[in-house]
Structure 1
Amino acid sequence: MPANRRPRARAEKRDEIVAAARALFVADGYEVTAVSRIAAEAGVTTNTVYWYFADKDHLLVAVLEQLLAEALTRYESVVTQPLSEKILFAVGELSSMHALVDTVHSRRASSPVIDEWHTGFHDLADALTRADLPGENAEAASAIIAFVVEGLLTHPGDEAGRRAIVELLVSRLVSG
Structure 2
Amino acid sequence: MPRNRRPQDREEKRQEIVRAAATLFTDVGYDETSTTKIATAAGVTTTTIYWYFADKDALLVAVLDHVLEAALAEAALHSQRPWADQVLWAVDRLERYRRLVTVVHARAPISESIGAWHDEFHRLVDSMMVDGFRDAGVPESDLDAMTKIGVFVVEGLLMHPQSEQDRRAVVTLLTGQTRRGSGSS
> TM-score scaled to structure 2, two decimals?
0.87
Kindly state the Cα deviation for residue 37 of structure 1 after the two structures are TM-superposed. Answer: 1.5
SS at match of 1:137: helix
Q: 1:160 aligns with which of 165, 174, 185?
A: 165
Q: How many residues align?
A: 170
Moved >4 Å (runs of 4+) = none
Hey, what's the Cα distance between the residues in 2 that align with 1:75 and 1:37? 31
Counterpart code for 1:112: E
Q: Is the 8 A contact 1:61 1:113 kept in 2?
A: yes
Flag structure 2 segments of 5+ consecutive residues without an equivalent. 1-6
Hey, what's the Cα distance between the residues in 2 that align with 1:122 and 1:83? 19
Hey, what's the Cα distance between the residues in 1 that align with 2:98 and 2:132? 26
Q: 1:141 aligns with which of 136, 141, 146?
A: 146
Kindly state the Cα deviation for residue 85 of structure 1 after the two structures are TM-superposed. Answer: 1.2
For 1:49-60, what aligned pairs fall within 5 Å after superposition? 49-60=49-60
Kindly state the Cα deviation for residue 174 of structure 1 after the two structures are TM-superposed. Answer: 4.2
SS at match of 1:93: helix
Structure 1 residue 172 corresponds to structure 2 residue 163: no
Flag structure 1 segments of 5+ consecutive residues without an equivalent. 1-5
Question: Which residue of the partner structure matches residue 124 of structure 1?
Answer: 124
Question: Which residue of the partner structure matches residue 19 of structure 1?
Answer: 19
Cα-to-partner distance string for 1:33-73 (whole Å, 9 max, x where unaligned) = 01121112212221211111011011011111111111111
Q: Is the 8 A contact 1:108 1:115 kept in 2?
A: yes
SS at match of 1:136: helix
Hey, what's the Cα distance between the residues in 1 that align with 2:142 and 2:102? 28
Kindly state the Cα deviation for residue 170 of structure 1 after the two structures are TM-superposed. Answer: 1.4
SS at match of 2:40: helix
Q: How large is the RMSD of aligned CA atoms in angstroms?
A: 1.4
> TM-score scaled to structure 1, two decimals?
0.91
Hey, what's the Cα distance between the residues in 1 that align with 2:51 and 2:142? 46
SS at match of 2:80: coil
Kindly state the Cα deviation for residue 120 of structure 1 after the two structures are TM-superposed. Answer: 1.1
